[in-house]
Amino acid sequence: ETGVTQSPTHLIKTRGQQVTLRCSSQSGHNTVSWYQQALGQGPQFIFQYYREEENGRGNFPPRFSGLQFPNYSSELNVNALELDDSALYLCASSRKAGVPNTQYFGPGTRLTVL
């Protein structure tokens, strides 16, 4: 059983640019959630995708958007990057939305915005 994978591992961008992060869910999982972890803090929920639709969103502006594909992989897109977007971006997959379930995390993508 393959775990959650994310790409790229590290990324450096400048303010105003756009970035796309990718995630492949664990086999058998159909729900993908994205989290932002700033230095010294716990992960914060960005949004969740289930059956290719957004299934919930945290307190993040619309310039954070996502997609889920038929194979359950997912993308996180961030437009108009700001310095405060520098963080570790984590993807987590789970079996089903709407019921208590355990989420399994990927290794993350470290984004630095200069």
Burial class (CB in 10 A: 0-12, 13-18, 19+), 65: middle
Least distance in angstroms from the C-beta of 54 to another protein: 9
Distance CA 103, CA 93 (A): 5
Per CB under 8 A, 60 contacts another protein: no
- Which residues share a beta bridge with 104? 93
Per CB under 8 A, 58 contacts another protein: yes
Nearest to 47 by CA among 23, 74, 66: 66
Per CB under 8 A, 62 contacts another protein: no
Composition of the chain by helix, strand, coil, percent to 5: 5, 50, 45
Per CB under 8 A, 45 contacts another protein: yes
> Smaller CB distance to another protein: residue 26 or 78?
26
Among 48, 68, 74, 93, binds another protein (CB under 8 A): 48
Least distance in angstroms from the C-beta of 67 to another protein: 17
Among 26, 29, 43, 72, binds another protein (CB under 8 A): 43
Question: 71 with 97: CB under 8 angstroms?
Answer: no
Could you list the residues that contact another protein (CB under 8 A)?
A: 4, 6, 31, 33, 35, 40-45, 48, 50, 55-58, 90, 92, 94, 97-108
